[in-house]
Amino acid sequence: MVSPAAGLTAIKTIPTIELILIVGMVLYIDNEFYVIQILESFYVEIIIFPVIFDGQTPMWSKNEKGRKLEIVQDYQGLQLISHYQFYDNVQTIRSWTEVTNQSEETREIEYVSSFAYQYASVGGNKPWNRKMRLHTAHNSWYDECRWESRTLPEMGLNPINLAQSTKRIYEQNLGSWSTQEFLPMGCLENEETGATCLWQIENNGSWYWEVAESSELMFPTVKDHNLMITNDGNEISGEIYFVLSGPTEWESQWHKSLKPGKTFITVPAAVSVVNGGFEKAVVEMTKYRRKIRRPNKDNEKLAVIFNDYMNCLFGDSTTEKLLPLIDAAADAGCEYFCIDCGWYTDTNWWAGVGEWKPSAQRYPGGIE
């Protein structure tokens, strides 16, 4: 039982659950910061338990994907709908937030989270700084998808005596190259219990995720599950949370003026929850990706494609160079010919990125 406090909601749950998720949303509106908490409890196998939401309206439904939970809240002239889509036989939840301005004034929104998880470090006897490990997916050209793993103290996040730390661990992307430095993914693993959350933010533009410590100072309704003793004998407490979103005002100068009657919907985020560590979480995320993949003929039969970049033209294509290659690729049984980068610029392929107009100099007769 979690005790209520002013402005937040009383939450009741079953005391025997293995993993407690406080999910919901974080809002930054009109220069004020709000945390809207929703508690949903489920085993790592995604077996849903009954939950009582005081002052909120949970709506369960069933669709072709699986169960769907929508939680409706009215907050200072805004209607907030948290969407949680579950998938049959997959330990993954897809989450997004819908905000509708029901007031008569334009509301200035600077941040809305797609998913927020308050109790990522619950479980076991050790304090979070001795059991939580963060996996991050570094990315670069010719160095894609390089996962690295460190404990939270190794990444600079340490418990602070009698106060919430101001330190955060975060990754972000700015602009339309969504994987320029990192994949929009991350994974928190409790090495003591094996409880693991792997997430991905599903956006081809700017995105942001954050891992940090929360305490009673930030979430006064939350009783401390993780009491720690510092070297000087003082008691401190706190839990690790993570929050996922698309662009933000602070990190990517994103801003939304939400006029009366208008609705804003965040980018979706997916979270796989398992009991078994990083590798098992990757398996569940892979199952989820296969579930949401749009039906197309490529699912049944992959076409043979020739790409003119590697070991070939390296972004310096012209009509004269392409025609014999196209004929040779067809003779070899290729069904598609891909003209890679460089078709849009008269100079170096990288210098011309952004203006997607075929080069008349490279293709005097046109590219089509």
Residue 199 region by backbone torsions, left for phi larger than 0, else alpha for psi between -120 and 50, else beta: beta
Segment 174-227, tens digit of pLDDT = 888 889 899 999 999 999 999 999 999 999 999 999 999 876 444 433 334 444
**Res. 49 pLDDT band, cuts 50 70 90:** very low
pLDDT the model gives residue 352: 82
Decide which of 24 and 335 is more confident.
335
The most confident of 23-27, 226-230, 335-339, by mean pLDDT: 335-339
Q: What is the 3-state secondary structure (H, E, C) of 342-354?
A: CCCCCCCCCCCCC
The per-residue pLDDT of the chain, averaged, comes to 79
Task: For 29, list phi and psi in degrees, rounded to 5.
Answer: -130, 135
Cα distance between residue 180 and residue 197, in whole Å: 23
Cα distance between residue 296 and residue 89, in whole Å: 22
Cα distance between residue 64 and residue 134, in whole Å: 34
Nearest to 217 by CA among 232, 201, 233, 239: 239
Task: For 132, list phi and psi in degrees, rounded to 5.
Answer: -95, 135
pTM score, whole prediction: 0.77
% the chain with pLDDT above 90 = 52
Decide which of 270 and 225 is more confident.
270
pLDDT the model gives residue 16: 25
Cα distance between residue 186 and residue 152, in whole Å: 13
> Are 228 and 237 spatial neighbours (Cβ–Cβ below 8 Å)?
yes
Cα distance between residue 43 and residue 13, in whole Å: 13
How is domain 11-292 classified at the architecture level of CATH? Distorted Sandwich (2.70)
Q: Indicate if the pLDDT at residue 55 is higher than 70.
A: no
Q: Indicate if the pLDDT at residue 141 is higher than 50.
A: yes
- The domain limits of the chain are 11-292, 296-368
**Res. 163 pLDDT band, cuts 50 70 90:** low
290 sits in which H/E element:
helix 278-292
Q: Indicate if the pLDDT at residue 39 is higher than 50.
A: no
% the chain with pLDDT above 70 = 77
281 sits in which H/E element:
helix 278-292
* Residue 118 CA, distance from chain mean position: 15
Decide which of 113 and 218 is more confident.
113
Segment 234-261, tens digit of pLDDT = 444 578 999 999 999 888 888 899 999 9
* Residue 335 CA, distance from chain mean position: 36
